[in-house]
Amino acid sequence: MKITDALRGEHAVLYVIFDFVRDTISNSEDITIIKNSVSVLERTLLSHAEIEDNFLFPELDPHIAGMGPLEMMRTEHQSIDEILKSYRDENDVDALKALIRQLIDLAFGHFQKEEMALFAMAEQFLTDDELTALGDKWAEKRNVVVDGHSCISAA
């Protein structure tokens, strides 16, 4: 499987988590419940961005380094990181909800840009073999079986 397809699949799961967190902040005024819901998003989102930063983006550098889309995606990863570092310290429920809405809007827009531009560029500049080799690295990292091959690591 190509890494771009794997990452699209991760986006699909993250969209469900976005909805879960949106529902939580609509239905609760409890700061602990709200922060706990964001912690699930935090762990999943950071893990997803780490795979893009470590596996996909470096392979794109020789082709589109310095071009807008790749730099924009890296900058948005940093912006998402900064919000995720700050939300735990926010103890005003309305300010917390505003921060979380900002986070989800940013992450949603970021995903749309990746799906509509960056992944398409990856599929244009990298060969199918390169994309599949990266998909194998993704499968090993995620401990899933792809194309009938077990990539489960011994660790």
Which positions lie near Fe ion, rule CB under 5 A?
Answer: 52, 114
Shortest CB 50 distance to Fe ion, Å: 10
Looking at beta carbons only, is 52 or 96 nearer to Fe ion?
Answer: 52
Shortest CB 124 distance to Fe ion, Å: 17
Looking at beta carbons only, is 42 or 52 nearer to Fe ion?
Answer: 52
Which long-range CB contacts under 8 A does 21-28 form with residues at least 24 apart?
A: 21/100, 21/104, 22/101, 22/104, 25/97, 25/100, 25/101
Shortest CB 118 distance to Fe ion, Å: 8
Helix axes 128-142, 3-27, angle to 10 degrees: 50
Tell me phi and psi for residue 17, to 5 degrees.
-70, -35
**CA geometry: angle 52, 65, 54, nearest 5 deg:** 20
Shortest CB 100 distance to Fe ion, Å: 18
Looking at beta carbons only, is 42 or 114 nearer to Fe ion?
Answer: 114
Looking at beta carbons only, is 109 or 143 nearer to Fe ion?
Answer: 109
